[in-house]
């Protein structure tokens, strides 16, 4: 099958855009609005009042992770000519992050199982309402930790992808530097307390860097002649 590098780059950009849009919406406009850190009662009230919206956030998270997997694989195909082993390692790290983060999202649903109509779930009567609310908040906290673990692996992936972009001649080196710096930032989540403290500046930098990458891939794509030359070398 003949590779079409510009088509490949634009497909990567489209999935990247969908990844960004779904992640920002589910986290920023649903989860962060309904979940009150440290307040189990308020979080419970918000979730039960907005059950449909909360469930839709989980679905959007799943779409986000499907897009993340697609972006990870497409970047591997795009950067494979630069260094097959390095690109494969970056993809492996990225997919590991996807598995961890997707598994953690199951815990995002836990409050819906712990806080249903108690009359229809007799086994939950052994717990008080306050205990169920506290357990729900614990599961949501673990979900956040799993997302943080995923970010650490995405950081390893982005750092290596950034280095490959710098080495490539078919994408601008400055784009690789932006990606590499962002990846190093997300790697701080290998030590969660540090990553959590730095999250806001990292998120803002990551958002800006992602928009630049998406714009370049969608508008400019790659230099096809150089991509084919690197692949042939």
Q: Do residues 4 and 211 lie in contact, with contact meaning Cβ atoms separated by under 8 Å? A: no
Domain spans, the chain? 5-228
Q: Do residues 219 and 172 lie in contact, with contact meaning Cβ atoms separated by under 8 Å? A: no
Quote the tokens at residue 184: 């190093």
Per-residue tens of pLDDT for the chain, all 233 residues: 446 889 999 999 999 999 999 999 999 888 889 899 888 889 888 998 898 899 999 999 999 999 999 999 999 999 999 999 999 999 999 999 999 999 999 899 888 888 765 445 666 677 777 888 888 899 999 999 999 999 999 999 999 999 999 999 999 999 999 999 999 999 999 999 999 999 999 999 999 999 999 999 999 999 899 998 998 87
pTM of full prediction above 0.85: yes
Burial of 128 (0-12, 13-18, 19+ CB in 10 A): exposed
Q: What is the pLDDT of residue 121?
A: 60
Other residues' Cβ atoms within 10 Å of the Cβ of residue 196: 14
């Amino acid at each position: 099958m003949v590779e079409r590098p510009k088509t490949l780059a634009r497909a990567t950009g489209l999935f990247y855009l969908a990844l960004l849009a779904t992640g920002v919406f589910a986290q920023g406009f649903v989860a962060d609005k309904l979940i009150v850190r440290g307040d189990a009662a308020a979080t419970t009230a918000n979730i039960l009042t907005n059950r449909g919206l909360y469930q839709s956030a989980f679905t959007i998270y799943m779409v986000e992770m499907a897009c993340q997997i697609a972006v990870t694989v497409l970047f591997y195909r795009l950067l494979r000519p630069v260094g097959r082993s390095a690109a494969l390692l970056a993809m492996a790290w990225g997919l590991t992050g996807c598995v961890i983060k997707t598994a953690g999202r199951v815990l995002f649903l836990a409050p819906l199982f712990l806080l249903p109509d108690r009359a229809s779930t007799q086994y939950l009567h052994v717990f008080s309402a306050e205990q169920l609310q506290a357990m729900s908040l614990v599961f949501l906290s673990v979900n956040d930790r799993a997302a943080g673990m995923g970010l650490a692996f995405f950081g390893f992936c982005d750092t290596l992808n950034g280095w490959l972009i710098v080495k490539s001649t078919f994408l601008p080196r400055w784009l690789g530097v932006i990606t590499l710096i962002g990846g190093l930032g997300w790697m701080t989540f290998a030590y969660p307390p540090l990553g959590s403290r730095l999250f806001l500046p990292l998120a803002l930098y990551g958002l800006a860097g992602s928009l630049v990458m998406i714009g370049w891939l969608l508008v400019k794509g790659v230099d096809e002649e150089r991509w084919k030359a690197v692949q042939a070398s």
